[in-house]
């Protein structure tokens, strides 16, 4: 049957108006089999507009209602069947009209041709940029940039101001395409008014160098804030003003942004113990190397300024007095298209103090003694830094020149009672440093780029030390013991180098081939002042240094990354040809060819398992600062010297990490195993006397270090709490020589600690934990140290009030009385308007705990120290924004 | 509200006397659904495949490829598949950043059976798959006279309120199957584009094709530990964000804080009064 057979039965009566018409019937194929899910549409005759629709059920029955009289077309269509149209005339009627229309649909071949369209995305998504117009998302209640960013799709802002895009932390926030704040971007996003923002761009695969975009392994994300035209030039900022009798703390941030120039000022004054550098630390000392470290980036000149070796293990705010002042000004100027000039200057001054008293218990087979020390230390620092960067960028090329200079004056004064005899140590380091870098990048094609970088660095860290009251024994002329003694040290280095690299990235494989050359010249000179005491043995050659080192490195290497499915490999090697020439009385030369490989393997077979392993081979040659043969003072009773000859050291490191579960799973486990093997290493050969110690660095063989760390989390839903367990095991083995006797040292450190953290929805939560530690040191004898610590943090929230009570306690069982020491800090914050002014009250060291006793172990015995702590301190202040 | 699948029973299947209504829910979903599908495609014209780009403006935003397979009253919509889990990064201020994704490699699957008047949704919460069984929603579409061209098809506009959001759908009568992305369906033509007025959900037509072969979903899709009804799903959803935040927060080290944003508005379904 080729045409449709239609049966029309009229079962209603016509009248002037149509009360209700119901059309029903059956759909079938030409064989009479019921057709289910046939579209039945009522189309109005004049314009074919859709009036009503229904579908046939599994038996082929359909029913459809029409509310108005008129001429219609009843259309039946279904996939794989030819559509059928039936005319439907519904007259005006006062009573319901019922009609029955049955239809049989002829088959039709599959005629739906494949169609592919390009749909417009909801948000403008480019290959490496997503642009969001903020007006579409703003509600008008946003005060600052981060309020607005929270509303944008895919962007989250944490309580610390850190910004994430799809979970990845953004590396930078640019303003009008310029990086003014580097990694200290919360200073911008917490202060920039939301009203001035027009658009926000998410820059995927962000790199500092736009010419290299898409080629390196960067998965970094950055945000670019575009301002409204009419608001450029706004001055904005925030501040804090607080204090109490004897304590003050102030903060001020000012920002001004215009199209051609941008400026930012930060100032801080405090004696509350707070680190004045604060956010600026991240700006000045990022924890990560630049994306493409260049020759010289990894080589800081070491300082010989004596460091504080005994640490409390507490936050420095607990034990440090300070008087900090800081000012910083950053600016950017763009006079021409593609040309930008950036400048930065900052000044930081601080005066910090520590107090300590302690005893050293020295125990070897040949010598045992006990020393007492009472110390007052004061560290005064003044640091100034300036940096100028000129950038010229075109579509395919970039030229960057950077010049920076820094001066610092550090003075460390220590006054001691050493075995009840007054001893003083006064060290001054007036350092200055300058560096310059010129780099050129050129994009060769879509997957390849070339880069050339030249670098020069100049560094000086001279040190002058005055030592008084020390019994030098036979080293000084008779009758001069205890008189002041001066020591001078000159420490400088210049380095220059270049590196050329080709960077290529395509598909799953990315790589970099680089070659370069580095030349470094170092000079180290030191000696005791020949006047006064210095006329004795201390004026002799064993206590002087006049060393010069010229080092050059010619290197070439390959690094690659391959990502495929659950596996990823990162690897590479560097071939180095090193020449080293030392001149210190005699001349020593060496030439070495070294191949340094590294390999990282990651495997993630499923969401619950993640394994990664890494092997790294290390090779280094001793710089001059480890080479010096003459003794120099390392503190008030220590004379130290370097290896005295040129040495090369190798190392092997294996790391294996396994993670089971996820942060969103009830159970999460993370465990890692690290093993380091140093076939040879710089150890120590010490001659120790109660009043003086001589340390010589010597080459020793066989050092092993094994550590195993694990953490286990189990979340209990019913209790809304998480139980955590952390374990740590460390085993270390190395050799040393003391008073002519060689000894094997071994260290075993065990640590275990449970924690409980509640996550109630209400206004109260708690987080508490305990930690037990056992350290066993086997050197000249067997020493053991056991300690416990615990904490309990309580948090109360009520409306605009937030109250936090932080408690922590420590008990060192083998030190002194073994009594526990407790600290409690109380913090209150009242914020009537979120994002507006807030009142802050902070009470630190509530119980006015005066000191902390702590024990530490060494290969020759142990130290027991008592540290003076900052007394109870109240700080009341106001956060404000303008 | 919740039952273990192994504890429930399903007394009948469609081929032997009628597909059970979801009000009773049942066991062994993977076996029954597979058999039903095989029966359907053998008697029908093959399978219609429509691909979409799907956006959910949640945090993190979802942008994925979704596919609808349909044949004679049955349709399966796959989306939200991908690696679940978390990503941990730390910024230069030492802050630990954790991002948790609620998807899994199977993803979310909406299985609609018009004959049984049933809709089954396979999803994942905290790495635990669930199966939501509910009656096929009766969406009261308001037809609009507006038409436009989309991918060479003439599509018609319709609007409806559904589960707390107001949707606009563009359907194509030339593809005469009442299917659509996610749970949106019931128009006289396949829905090729749909979005809600808050721009939270958007499905955009990308391609359409037909295949003559039978399309049999993987039984693994419906192997779940927990079968829930709409009330159970509402409870699960209401607790999901809070539970997730609690889990993460409880694992943080001392001093670390987790900023809790309002999350209830980020659910696609936020009202359950209607069917």
With the C-alpha atoms ordered A535, A537, A541, A542, is the resulting torsion angle positive or negative? negative
Token output for A631: 């003794």
Rounded to an integer, the average pLDDT of A836-862 is 86
More confident residue, A310 or A600: A600
Peptide bond into B60 cis (omega under 30): yes
Q: Does A126 touch chain B (CB under 8 A)?
A: no
Whole-angstrom distance, CA of residue A135 vs CA of residue A775: 60
- Angle (CA) A449-A451-A456 rounded to 5° is 170
Highest average pLDDT, of A301-315, A543-557, B212-226, comes from A543-557
- The predicted-structure confidence for B14-32, as pLDDT tens digits, reads as follows 333 333 333 323 223 333 3
The Cα of B31 is separated from the nearest Cα of chain A by a number of Å equal to: 22
**How does B26-51 read in b/e, with b if 16+ C-beta sit within 10 Å?**
bbbbbebbbbbbebbbeebbbbbbbb
Identify the closest residue of chain A to B57 by CA–CA distance. Answer: A153
- The predicted-structure confidence for B98-127, as pLDDT tens digits, reads as follows 455 556 667 888 988 888 888 989 888 766
Rounded to an integer, the average pLDDT of A143-166 is 70
Identify the closest residue of chain B to A660 by CA–CA distance. Answer: B85
**Cβ proximity of A794 and A780 under 8 Å:** no
Q: Is the pLDDT of residue A683 over 70?
A: yes
Highest average pLDDT, of A283-287, A587-591, A760-764, B23-27, comes from A587-591
Pairs of CB atoms within 8 A across A/B:
216
What's residue A640's pLDDT?
92
The neighbouring-strand residues paired with A652 are A617, A677
More confident residue, A863 or A521: A521
Contact B205 A117 (CB under 8 A): yes
Per the listing, tokens 């009522």 go with A42
Task: List Cβ neighbours of A276 (8 Å cut-off, separation of 6 or more).
Answer: A268, A269, A270, A322, A324, A325, A326, A348, A350
CB < 8 Å to B262, chain A:
none
Where in A312-447 does DSSP place strands (E)?
324-336, 339-363, 368-393, 397-418, 421-445
Q: Which of A340, A419, A317, A344 is nearest to A375 (CA)?
A: A419
More confident residue, A360 or A47: A360
Whole-angstrom distance, CA of residue A324 vs CA of residue A331: 24
Torsion, CA A368, CA A369, CA A375, CA A379, rounded to 10: -30
Query: If you average pLDDT over every residue of chain A, what do you get?
Result: 82
Contact A115 B245 (CB under 8 A): no
What's residue A127's pLDDT?
58
Whole-angstrom distance, CA of residue A165 vs CA of residue A878: 32
CB < 8 Å to A159, chain B:
257-259
Question: What is the DSSP secondary-structure string of A457-494?
Answer: EEEE--EEEEEES---GGGS-TT-TTS-EEEEEEEEEE
Q: Is the pLDDT of residue A841 over 50?
A: yes
Rounded to an integer, the average pLDDT of B41-47 is 54
Whole-angstrom distance, CA of residue A779 vs CA of residue A736: 9
**Cβ proximity of A699 and A682 under 8 Å:** yes
The Cα of B168 is separated from the nearest Cα of chain A by a number of Å equal to: 15
Contact B126 A665 (CB under 8 A): yes
Q: Is the pLDDT of residue A57 over 90?
A: no
Token output for A445: 């094609």
Q: Is the pLDDT of residue A295 over 60?
A: no
Q: Which of A562, A630, A565, A626 is nearest to A599 (CA)?
A: A562
**Cβ proximity of A92 and A15 under 8 Å:** yes
Which ipTM was obtained for this model? 0.73
CA distances from residue A113 to A109, B49, B151, B175 in whole angstroms, order as listed: 11, 12, 11, 11
A27, A52, A117, A764: best mutation site toward chain B, by most B Cβ within 10 Å? A117
CA distances from residue B189 to A110, A689, A849, B192 in whole angstroms, order as listed: 16, 95, 77, 9
Q: Which of A45, A44, A51, A38 is nearest to A4 (CA)?
A: A38
Q: Residue B97 is nearest to which of A80, A169, A607, comparing CB atoms?
A: A169
Q: Does A769 touch chain B (CB under 8 A)?
A: yes
Tell me if residue B24 falls in helix, strand or coil: coil
H-type helices in B4-65, by residue range? 29-43
Contact B188 A78 (CB under 8 A): no
Helix (H) or strand (E) holding B232: helix B230-251
**Cβ proximity of A450 and A442 under 8 Å:** yes
The neighbouring-strand residues paired with A384 are A347, A407
Per the listing, tokens 């690299």 go with A501
CB < 8 Å to A167, chain B:
60, 87, 89, 97-99, 101
Q: Is the pLDDT of residue A764 over 80?
A: yes
**Cβ proximity of A731 and A356 under 8 Å:** no
Task: List Cβ neighbours of A586 (8 Å cut-off, separation of 6 or more).
Answer: none
Q: Is the pLDDT of residue A772 over 90?
A: yes
CB < 8 Å to A50, chain B:
143, 156, 173, 188
The Cα of A360 is separated from the nearest Cα of chain B by a number of Å equal to: 33
End-to-end CA distance of chain B: 17
The percent of residues above 90 in pLDDT, for chain A, comes to: 28
Whole-angstrom distance, CA of residue A239 vs CA of residue A267: 9
Return the DSSP state at A289: -
Q: Does A713 touch chain B (CB under 8 A)?
A: yes
In terms of DSSP bridges, do strands A693-716 and A638-641 run parallel, antiparallel, or are they unpaired?
Answer: parallel
Q: Does A1 touch chain B (CB under 8 A)?
A: no
Contact A154 B61 (CB under 8 A): yes
**Cβ proximity of A692 and A637 under 8 Å:** yes
Contact A79 B45 (CB under 8 A): yes
More confident residue, B40 or A145: A145
**Cβ proximity of A262 and A167 under 8 Å:** no
- The predicted-structure confidence for A439-470, as pLDDT tens digits, reads as follows 999 999 888 999 999 999 999 999 999 988 88
- The predicted-structure confidence for A60-98, as pLDDT tens digits, reads as follows 899 998 888 888 889 998 888 888 888 888 887 767 778
- The predicted-structure confidence for B238-262, as pLDDT tens digits, reads as follows 776 667 667 767 776 666 555 544 4
Q: Which of A764, A619, A716, A617 is nearest to A676 (CA)?
A: A617
**Cβ proximity of A17 and A94 under 8 Å:** yes
Q: Which A residues, 721 through 740, put their C-beta within 8 Å of a C-beta on chain B?
A: 721-722, 724
Task: List Cβ neighbours of B114 (8 Å cut-off, separation of 6 or more).
Answer: A37, A55, B73, B74, B136, B178
Whole-angstrom distance, CA of residue B187 vs CA of residue B170: 9
What's residue B33's pLDDT?
39
Tell me if residue B251 falls in helix, strand or coil: helix
**Cβ proximity of A672 and A660 under 8 Å:** no
Identify the closest residue of chain A to B244 by CA–CA distance. Answer: A664
* Band of residue A387 on the pLDDT scale cut at 50, 70, 90: confident
Task: List Cβ neighbours of A683 (8 Å cut-off, separation of 6 or more).
Answer: A697, A698, A699, A700, A703, A734, A735, A736, A737
CA distances from residue A648 to A380, A595, A630, A670, B227 in whole angstroms, order as listed: 37, 13, 20, 36, 66
What's residue B264's pLDDT?
40
Whole-angstrom distance, CA of residue B226 vs CA of residue B208: 34
Phi, psi angle pair for A279, to nearest 5°: -60, -25
Question: What is the DSSP secondary-structure string of A247-273?
Answer: EEEEEEEEEEE-SSEEEEEEEEEE-SS
């Amino acid at each position: 049957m080729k045409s449709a057979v239609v049966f029309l039965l009229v079962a209603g009566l016509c009248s002037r108006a149509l009360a209700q018409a119901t059309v029903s019937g059956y759909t079938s194929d030409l064989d009479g089999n019921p057709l289910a899910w046939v579209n039945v549409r009522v189309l109005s005759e004049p314009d074919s507009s859709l009036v009503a629709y229904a579908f046939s059920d599994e038996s082929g029955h359909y029913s459809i209602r029409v509310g108005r009289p008129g001429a219609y077309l009843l259309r039946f269509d279904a996939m794989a069947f030819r559509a059928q149209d039936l005319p439907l005339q519904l007259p005006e009627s006062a009573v319901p009209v019922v009609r029955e229309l049955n239809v049989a649909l002829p088959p039709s071949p599959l005629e739906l041709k494949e169609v592919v369209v390009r749909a417009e995305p909801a948000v403008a998504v480019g290959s490496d940029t997503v642009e969001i117009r903020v007006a579409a998302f703003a509600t008008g209640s946003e005060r600052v940039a981060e309020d607005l960013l929270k509303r944008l799709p895919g962007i989250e802002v944490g309580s610390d101001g850190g910004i994430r895009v799809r979970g990845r932390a953004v590396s930078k926030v640019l303003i009008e395409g310029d990086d003014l704040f580097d990694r200290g971007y919360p200073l911008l996003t917490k202060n920039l008014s939301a009203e001035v923002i027009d658009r926000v761009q998410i820059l995927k695969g962000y790199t500092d160098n736009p010419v290299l975009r898409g080629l390196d392994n960067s998965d970094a994300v950055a945000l670019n804030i575009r301002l409204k035209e009419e608001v450029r030039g706004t001055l904005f900022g925030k501040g804090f003003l607080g204090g109490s009798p004897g304590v003050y703390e102030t903060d001020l941030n000012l920002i001004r942004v215009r199209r051609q120039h941008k400026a930012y000022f930060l100032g801080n004054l405090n004696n509350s113990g707070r680190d004045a550098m604060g956010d600026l630390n991240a700006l000045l000392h990022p924890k990560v190397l630049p994306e493409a470290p260049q020759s010289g980036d990894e080589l800081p000149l070491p300082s010989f300024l004596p460091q504080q070796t005994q640490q409390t293990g507490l936050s420095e705010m607990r034990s440090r007095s300070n008087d900090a002042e800081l000012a910083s000004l950053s600016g950017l100027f763009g006079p021409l298209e593609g040309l930008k000039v950036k400048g930065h200057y900052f000044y930081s001054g601080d005066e910090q103090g520590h107090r300590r008293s302690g005893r050293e218990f020295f125990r070897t087979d040949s010598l045992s003694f006990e020393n007492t020390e009472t110390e007052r230390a004061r560290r005064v620092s003044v640091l100034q830094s300036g940096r100028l960067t000129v950038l010229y960028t075109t579509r395919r090329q970039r030229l960057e020149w950077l010049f920076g200079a820094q001066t610092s004056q550090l003075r460390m004064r220590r006054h001691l009672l050493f075995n009840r005899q007054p001893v003083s140590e006064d060290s001054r380091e007036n350092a200055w440093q300058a560096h310059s870098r010129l780099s050129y990048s050129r994009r060769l094609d879509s997957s390849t780029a070339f880069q050339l970088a030249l670098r020069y660095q100049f560094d000086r860290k001279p040190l002058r030390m005055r030592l008084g009251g020390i019994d030098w024994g036979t080293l000084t002329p008779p009758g001069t013991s205890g008189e002041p003694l001066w020591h001078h040290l000159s420490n400088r280095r210049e380095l220059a180098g270049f590196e050329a690299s080709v960077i290529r990235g395509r598909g799953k494989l990315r790589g970099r081939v680089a070659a370069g050359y580095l030349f470094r010249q170092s000079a180290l000179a030191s000696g005791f002042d020949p006047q006064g005491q210095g006329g004795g043995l201390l004026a002799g050659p064993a206590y002087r240094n006049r060393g010069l080192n010229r080092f050059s490195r010619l290197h070439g290497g390959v690094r690659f990354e391959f990502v495929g499915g659950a596996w990823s490999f990162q690897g590479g090697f560097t071939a180095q040809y090193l020449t080293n020439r030392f001149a210190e009385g005699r001349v020593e030369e060496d030439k070495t060819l070294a191949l340094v490989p590294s390999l990282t393997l990651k495997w993630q077979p499923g969401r619950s398992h993640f394994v990664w392993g890494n092997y790294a081979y290390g090779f280094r040659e001793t710089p001059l600062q480890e080479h010096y043969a003459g003794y120099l003072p390392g503190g008030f009773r220590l004379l130290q010297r370097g290896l005295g000859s040129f040495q090369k050291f190798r190392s092997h490191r294996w790391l294996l990490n396994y993670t089971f579960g996820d942060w969103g799973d009830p159970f999460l486990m993370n465990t890692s195993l690290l093993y380091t093997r140093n076939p040879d290493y710089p150890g120590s050969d010490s001659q120790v006397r109660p009043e003086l110690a001589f340390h010589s660095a010597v080459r020793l063989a066989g050092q092993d270090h094994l550590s195993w760390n694990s953490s286990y989390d189990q979340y209990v839903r019913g209790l809304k709490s998480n139980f955590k367990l952390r374990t740590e095991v460390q085993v270390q083995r190395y050799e040393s020589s003391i008073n002519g006797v060689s000894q094997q040292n071994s260290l075993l450190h065990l640590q275990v600690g449970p924690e409980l953290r509640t996550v109630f929805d209400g206004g109260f939560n708690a987080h508490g934990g305990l930690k037990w530690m056992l350290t066993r040191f086997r050197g000249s004898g067997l020493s053991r140290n056991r300690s416990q610590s615990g904490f309990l943090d309580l948090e109360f929230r009520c409306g605009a009030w937030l109250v936090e009570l932080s408690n922590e306690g420590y008990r060192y069982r083998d030190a002194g009385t073994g009594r526990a020491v407790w600290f409690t800090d109380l913090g209150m914050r009242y914020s009537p308007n979120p994002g507006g002014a807030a009142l802050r009250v902070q009470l630190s060291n509530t119980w006015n705990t005066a000191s902390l006793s702590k024990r530490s172990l060494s290969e020759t015995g142990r130290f027991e120290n008592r540290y003076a702590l900052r007394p109870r301190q109240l700080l009341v202040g106001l956060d404000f924004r303008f | 509200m919740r039952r273990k699948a192994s504890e429930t029973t399903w007394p009948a299947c469609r081929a032997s006397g009628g597909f059970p209504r979801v009000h009773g829910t049942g066991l062994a979903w993977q076996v029954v659904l597979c058999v039903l599908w095989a029966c359907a495609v053998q008697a029908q014209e093959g399978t219609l495949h429509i691909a979409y780009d799907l956006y959910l403006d949640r945090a993190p935003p979802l942008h994925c490829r979704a596919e609808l397979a349909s044949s004679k009253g049955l349709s399966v919509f796959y989306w939200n598949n991908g690696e679940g889990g978390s990503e941990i990064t730390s910024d230069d201020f030492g802050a630990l950043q954790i991002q948790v994704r609620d998807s899994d490699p199977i993803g979310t699957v909406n299985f609609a059976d018009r004959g049984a008047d049933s809709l089954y949704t396979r999803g994942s919460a905290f790495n635990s798959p669930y199966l939501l069984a509910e009656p096929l929603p009766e969406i009261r579409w308001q037809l609009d006279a507006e038409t436009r061209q989309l991918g060479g098809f003439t599509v018609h506009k319709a609007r409806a309120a559904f589960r707390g959001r107001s949707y606009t759908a563009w359907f194509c009568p030339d593809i005469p199957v009442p299917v659509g992305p996610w749970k949106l369906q019931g128009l006289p033509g396949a829905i090729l584009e749909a979005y809600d007025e808050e721009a939270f959900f958007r499905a955009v037509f990308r391609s359409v094709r037909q295949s003559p072969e039978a399309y049999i979903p993987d039984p693994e899709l419906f192997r779940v530990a927990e079968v829930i009804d709409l009330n159970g799903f509402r409870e699960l959803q209401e607790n999901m964000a809070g539970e997730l935040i609690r889990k993460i927060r409880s694992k943080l080290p001392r001093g670390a804080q987790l900023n809790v944003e309002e999350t209830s508005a980020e659910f696609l379904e936020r009202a359950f009064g209607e069917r």
